[in-house]
Amino acid sequence: MFDPRPLVDIATAIGQEAGALVQRMRASAVVSFDTKSTSTDVVTAADRASEQLVRTRLSELRPGEPVLGEEEGGTVVEGLTWVVDPIDGTVNYLYGIPWYSVSIAAQLDGESVAGAVVEPATGRVWTAARGYGAFLDGSPLRVSATTDLSLSLLGYGFAYRAERRQRQADTWAAMATRVRDMRRAGAASLDLCSVAAGRLDAYAEHALGRWDWAAGGLIASEAGAVVRLPGSSPELGEDATFAAAPGIADAMYSALVESGFGKV
């Protein structure tokens, strides 16, 4: 029987190495950066260095296994693929806001089976293995027990393109009257982990890459969240990611649809 837990250990160890690297680079000099899809979509030298480190270490510890990374690309194949976000929350990193991560997941035939999300600024490590639960620094995680949508805390995000942001802003304005409050933190992997820990009751965002949700989505799911990944919820949009505590999942889903989330 396949046991994914050793893959968590590998993801954790490499993630911690990469996290230490990006912290050193952040502390040693002004962060240099370029842009990708838009002028607001940034990539730093640390993103590239972190991914290079992860790829090198994976080639040593798991030779021959393919890697899909945000900066250097790759494809998901049959069998085992490693999915890497070298810095999730790059804009936070650029501004010195300590809410960013190194996210590493192992996917088997395209589905996450092991993952680690490392917070370089704090040293916290979020982990999960399929069928074995989710943990923060070794302590088990469980989603919130909330059952009242109006008393729930929703995490959300924005796309990079201005015209889509405006449409999303209209959706979030409509959602603001349906929930207790909302949070925009800026790192999808950690938002998903926050659902796992009950720090958020739900989270929804469009236009995430596989590297954004591969580890965090597994951690949320293993902590008991209802998780819907891109391509699984046409009513929310083909590129939507959704995670929620089970007690409010259906109500949150419906509220998002009614607020126009699937049309942005």
- Residues 18-51: tens digit of each pLDDT: 999 999 998 875 455 665 556 555 678 899 999 9
Query: Residue 35 has what pLDDT?
Result: 58
C-beta separation of 113 from 120 below 8 A: no
Phi and psi dihedrals of 156, rounded to 5? -150, 175
Query: Residue 161 has what pLDDT?
Result: 83
Percent of the chain with pLDDT over 90: 86
User: H or E segment at 210?
Assistant: helix 210-222
Closest CA to 114 of 44, 11, 24, 201: 11
Is residue 251 scored above 70 in pLDDT? yes
70/53 Cα distance (integer angstroms): 13
262/264 Cα distance (integer angstroms): 6
Q: Which two tokens stand for residue 91?
A: 């804009």
168/73 Cα distance (integer angstroms): 27
| pLDDT, the chain, mean | 94
The predicted-structure confidence for 65-95, as pLDDT tens digits, reads as follows: 999 999 999 999 899 999 999 999 999 998 9
Phi and psi dihedrals of 174, rounded to 5? -65, -35
Residue 154: strand pairing partners: 182, 202
CATH of domain 5-140: 3.30.540.10
Of the two residues 132 and 71, the one the predictor is more confident about is 132
User: H or E segment at 188?
Assistant: helix 188-197
Q: What is the pTM of this model?
A: 0.95
User: H or E segment at 164?
Assistant: helix 162-175
* Mean pLDDT along residues 159-188: 93
CATH architecture of 149-263: 3-Layer(aba) Sandwich (3.40)
204/105 Cα distance (integer angstroms): 20
Name which of 147-151, 162-166, 252-256 the model is least confident about.
162-166
250/262 Cα distance (integer angstroms): 15
Query: Residue 28 has what pLDDT?
Result: 73
Name which of 17-31, 67-81, 210-224, 241-255 the model is least confident about.
17-31
Domain span(s) for CATH 3.40.190.80 in the chain: 149-263
Closest CA to 242 of 222, 261, 259: 261
Query: Residue 38 has what pLDDT?
Result: 61
Domain span(s) for CATH 3.30.540.10 in the chain: 5-140
Query: Residue 228 has what pLDDT?
Result: 98
Query: Residue 264 has what pLDDT?
Result: 85
